[in-house]
Structure 1
Amino acid sequence: MRTHHAAALLATAVALALTACSPAEITTKPDTKATPPADGATSAAPTPPAQAATVGDTVTLKGNEDGEQLAVTIRKWADPAQSDDEFMKPDDGKRWVAAQFELVNTGTAVYSDSPSNGTQVADHQGQQFQSTFGETTAGPAMTSAAKVAPGAKVLGWITYEVPKDSKIAKVQFTMNSGFASQTGEWTIK
């Protein structure tokens, strides 16, 4: 048992050291979108990306391992998000907000992670908030054990508990439970 524990600690230390050596990057520009031709022609020209990603935009991110890549889209935003359980509610003075994430594996390796571990929201004051276990009436929760083959996708809601008076400004997603060097960021309007 000690050998297994020591090996797990060593693996964690190596992963953290490798992550620390990689320069952090926050990507705020969405991927380019193809627009339908206006004159009925058969080809579509890509449109330049907007200044900052917002709800509905896709940001492609790489993970720590070769072949790890996701096209991440925030499909919907719920503020406030209502609990789907009469017993689980936000603490006094707080509310829930939630984002529906679509993760499409555009890489060559299987994506295996707990997506909510790598997300957070930030308000206009710069306060950051991690995800919570609450499930909402907005829709099905994101799985906590995603295993997504190349070309496949996973879809679900991730919930955050924030102060009632906070105005949420940003949502962030990072692969590898938040340890990858690339982070996608979406502006909430």
Structure 2
Amino acid sequence: MPRSRETGRPDRAARRCGRLRGALVVLALLAPALLGAAPGGSGETISLAGNEPGQRLDVTLTQVVDPASPTPGTPAEAEADTDGPDRLLAVRFRLENSGTAVYRDSPAPAAHLLDTTGRRFTGLNVPTTAGASFPDTITLDPGGTAEGFVTFRLPEDADPAAVQFALNAGLADDVGQWSLP
């Protein structure tokens, strides 16, 4: 950070710029929710395009389990007990390949949860008692479907606001968003 020549402390303009940059990051995370881009509610299907020709998925958020419990006897269960005050939230998606190309991707990192303060949490492949998780990688031929849970680890006091999903491990430009009650 630039410093004042006289005092050696961080320059006020640089501090303001840093605060502005932080505010822009929060706005960018919440923009789809604020602008209503590809919104959905639980049970609503959103058609999303990927970065490659012929990649298209119809994605439906079918269930939210909050809190979710780690599957007994898994390493995730031990982590949940020692990581401090946090909880697991599991979201069930139904994916249908409505495109013309074979779809091969990792659903967990393709999903993000936003809380009401703008924090963003990336999906995990943590098994929970909510139901079966997606495998690390799925392959869907055109017309093929898959269902599974994506798990999020978030602070106990976090208030979930929305879940987002994008193809290509979350890097595609087309993002679906579902508001959470």
TM class, shorter-length:
0.7 to 0.9
Following superposition, the deviation at residue 29 of structure 1 comes to: 6.2
| Partner Cα distance (2:41, 2:90) in 1 | 14
Percent identical across equivalent pairs? 34
| 2:80 is aligned with 1:88 | no
When the two structures are superposed, what TM-score results if normalisation uses the length of structure 1? 0.72
In structure 1, the gaps of 5 or more residues are 1-24, 31-51
Aligned CA RMSD, in angstroms, stands at: 1.7
Following superposition, the deviation at residue 115 of structure 1 comes to: 1.1
Which of 175, 178, 181 lines up with 1:183 in the alignment?
Answer: 175
Which of 151, 154, 177 lines up with 2:146 in the alignment?
Answer: 154
| 2:98 is aligned with 1:110 | no
- 1:1-189 map, 5 Å: 26=32, 28=36, 52-86=39-73, 87-89=75-77, 90=80, 91-189=83-181
Following superposition, the deviation at residue 133 of structure 1 comes to: 3.2
| Partner Cα distance (1:107, 1:163) in 2 | 37
Contact 1:119 1:172 in 2 (8 A): yes
In structure 2, the gaps of 5 or more residues are 1-30
Contact 1:85 1:135 in 2 (8 A): no
When the two structures are superposed, what TM-score results if normalisation uses the length of structure 2? 0.75
Following superposition, the deviation at residue 100 of structure 1 comes to: 0.3
Following superposition, the deviation at residue 143 of structure 1 comes to: 1.6
Following superposition, the deviation at residue 157 of structure 1 comes to: 0.3
Please identify which structure carries the higher helix content.
Answer: 2
Contact 2:125 2:135 in 1 (8 A): no
Question: Deviation above 3 Å: which 4+ runs of structure 1?
Answer: 25-30
Contact 2:125 2:133 in 1 (8 A): no
